[in-house]
Amino acid sequence: MRCLLTVLRASGTRLERTEPEGEATATSAGEPGMTDRTKEQKTANESSPQDVQGAENARAQESRKKDGEDPNVTVTGRSAQAEPHSRLGEMRQVLARHKIMQGITPVKLREVLEDLGPTYIKLGQIMSLHSDILPKEYCDELMKLNSDVTPMPFSEVESVLREAYGGPWQDIFRWISQRPIGSASIAQVHRATLMDGSDVIIKVQRKGIYDVMSRDIALLHKAAGLIGPVANVTGITDIVDINMILDELWSTAQEEMDFLKEASNMEEFARYNRDVAYVSVPKLYREYSTSHVLVMEYIGGCPIDDVKTLKAKGYDLEEIGRKFANNYIKQVMDDGFFHADPHPGNVKVCGGKIVWIDMGMMGRLTERDRLIMAKGVKGIGLHDIAMVENAVLDLGTTRGVPDRGRLYKDLRDFIDNYGSQGMGEVDIADAMQSLMEIMKRNRIRMPHGMTMLARGLAHLEGVLYTISPSINMMSIASSRVKEEMVRNTDWKKEAKSWSWRFLRSAEKGVEIPSLLVDVLNNFQAGRSEVNLNLNSSDELSQVIYQAVRNIVIGLCVAALLISSSTICTTDMEPKILGIPALGVFGYVAALLIAAFFSLRHWHRKRKR
């Protein structure tokens, strides 16, 4: 884990906002780790992109200024070829400065990623979603990542728009603000007006960001190859496949860099919620959106956690909280398509509606996943550990053979802790995180949608605690589950199913006396057999392996000493100080082996 953590980095955002006249809060990219808004920022347009390479550009420009070169000139030719090597050298310096070989704490990991720059901060933010892989304290710390990114010059924005539209932006927009509302490492956001007078937000992807992130991911793959031997020794590879994680991170980053994907998410989300009167989504201008430019309606209003403004406008905070939670439960349980980052910057209250924005990070749960989840919840309610265990194994994927005994014990403790509480007393985010920890201990990896749901629920409960502390998420979820069960249950089918089960049970019950007689006859005749399948725990297997290995090594060292002693009694040439050289070499080899294993044992004992 330690080596994996040292090579991950990503890009975050700290939004810069202008304050338009009147009441207005714009669409926000809502990146993880965003800093709290000030009062002025709360009334400003906060449409935010997903991230950018700006810090690298800033460093390169400063370097070129020192060398007397034009800072606006792009790196080409030999400089571009040397860039990966210099970047790798910069990574080595950062890791050495933070003394990575002495271990890494969550805070040190965050500091390393911040020093490595925006693209690695972005990857760190994506990693914060993987609570099924990283410990909770690391995920919590990575969620604090944010980057203060230098905005692109407006000339570059114009260049991106010209490439996207095949002509000057003046053919489409009447006006574009040259000062960005938000600047991040993948994109930045500007307010604009269409030719028909519509007030919109333009999200423009940074030039070259795809190549920058692709290069950094390639460097991380190389780093993963270099730390492979260390990872095997420390046991990291038993927990995670580093290259697989990097591939998944790159896949997620590619989706965030494809604005057409976000546009499709907006349309799908709007379709699922079109019949919900109190929910809205910014209007998408698909005809003006490309893979590098996204145009959407400008959203006014205020963040959902702006209690002071909401009260001033006469909103009922209890009603907002209930509707907010109900809609999120609907997204998860009914649609299987939910907002994965529902922090206050991504949820607005405008015109009496809850407006969901920034659809770049969405979670999905298949119908099968939802049915298995319902089965697991039912098992918790019934205190049926076996049902919960089967649900967990069906939902996740295991590395190797799972230790069913250990899993059963962990789930029993989990149910004893949460199953005895009333629905109104359960902290659903805490319960989800506890379940994720159980999965990690048992090397069971949950679907990515589940990890995103755990993060989303944590954000959701944070918002509810701010606007309406009396609302309990679990109470709302349980009541909705009961309503759905009553509404969707086919009573005729259920009656038929129970009748069939009763009939089969009656048939099997008739056979019990004859089967019991057969068992007793076999026992009296001495023909009884007992088959046992003993599965050792990982700890016991490791102890046995180490014991056998030490015995074998000890025998080899003893054989080496005995053979060397035998050789020393002969007149074998050549000799060292009158002793056969081969015998001397044998003694030295045995001494070195014994010293190595003694020092290793002492070092491990000291670490414990």
At 402-430, the pLDDT tens digits run 778 888 888 888 888 776 655 556 666 67
Strand, helix or coil for residue 363: strand
CA pseudo-torsion sign 384, 390, 395, 397: positive
351 and 226 share one domain: no
In a shared domain, residues 274 and 252: no
Supply the pTM of this predicted model.
0.65
| Closest to 387 in 3D by CA, of 399, 401, 373, 405 | 373
| pLDDT, average across residues 232-249 | 59
Residues 96 and 239 in one domain: yes
- How high is the pLDDT of residue 426? 62
- What are the φ and ψ backbone dihedral angles of 445, each rounded to 5 degrees? -100, 125
Give me the residue label for tokens 């649609």. 335
Greatest alpha-carbon pair distance for the chain in Å reads 105
For position 538, what pLDDT does the model report? 66
pLDDT band at 11 (very low <50, low <70, confident <90, very high): very low
Q: Are 17 and 36 in contact (CB under 8 A)?
A: no
Nearest by Cα to 435 from 425, 424, 444: 444
Same domain, 78 and 161: yes
CB 289 within 8 A of CB 259: yes
- CA distances for 580 relative to 559, 567, 572, 585, angstroms: 17, 7, 6, 9
Q: Report the pLDDT averaged over residues 114-141.
A: 74
Q: What is the pLDDT of residues 28-74, one digit of tens each?
A: 333 433 333 333 333 333 333 333 344 444 444 444 444 443 343 33
Q: Which of 364, 390, 405 is the last residue of a domain?
A: 364
* Mean pLDDT calculated for residue range 278-307: 93
**Mean pLDDT on 90-95:** 79
Same domain? 155 vs 112: yes
Assigned domain for 585 exists: yes
**Residues 544, 573 within the same domain:** yes
Question: Which is more confident, 123 or 200?
Answer: 200
| Domain-embedded: residue 581 | yes
Least confident residue range of 62-76, 107-121, 259-273, 432-446? 62-76
Q: Which helix (H) or strand (E) holds 348?
A: strand 347-350
Task: Give the model's pLDDT for residue 485.
Answer: 62
Q: Are 48 and 358 in contact (CB under 8 A)?
A: yes
Region 347-361: mean pLDDT is 91
pLDDT, residue 512, reads 86
- What pLDDT shows up at residue 607? 64
Quickly state the pLDDT bin for 78 (edges 50, 70, 90). very low
Task: Give residue 170's pLDDT.
Answer: 93
Task: Give the mean pLDDT of 300-312.
Answer: 91
Place of tokens 């099968």: 368
Residue at 74 is within a domain:
yes
Peptide bond connecting 574 to the previous residue in cis, omega within 30 degrees of 0: yes
Check whether residue 290 and residue 313 sit in a common domain.
yes
Number of domains in the chain: 4
Tell me the torsion sign for CA atoms 89, 94, 99, 105. Answer: negative
Q: Is residue 251 part of a domain?
A: yes
336 vs 509, residue with greater confidence:
336
Residue 91 shares a structural domain with residue 217: yes
Q: Residue 253: name the closest of 282, 279, 217 by CA.
A: 217
**443 domain residue, yes or no:** no
Same-domain status, 77 and 89? yes
Question: At CA 447, angle to CA 446 and CA 451, rounded to 5?
Answer: 75
- How does DSSP assign 479-509, residue by residue? HHHHHHHHHH--HHHHHHHHHHHHHHHHHHH
Q: Are both 145 and 266 inside the same structural domain?
A: no
- Higher pLDDT among residues 7 and 537, named by residue: 537
Q: What is the pLDDT of residue 125?
A: 74
List residues bridging with 202 in a β-sheet: 190, 295
92 and 113 inside one domain: yes
pLDDT of 190 above 80? yes
As given in the structure block, the two tokens for residue 16 are 């810069």
Same domain, 495 and 353: no
Structural domain boundaries, residue 355? 260-364
228, 257, 286: which is the final residue of a domain? Answer: 257
Question: Which position has the higher pLDDT, 482 or 590?
Answer: 590
532 falls within a domain: no
- Domain assignment present for 588: yes
Confidence at residue 15, expressed as pLDDT on a 0 to 100 scale = 31
> Which comes out higher in pLDDT, residue 24 or 273?
273
Listed residues 239, 257, 275: the one ending a domain? 257
Q: Is residue 533 part of a domain?
A: no
- Binning pLDDT at 50, 70 and 90, where does residue 260 land? very high
Q: What mean pLDDT value characterizes the chain?
A: 76
Report the 10 Å Cβ neighbour count for 203.
28
Q: Are 202 and 224 in contact (CB under 8 A)?
A: no
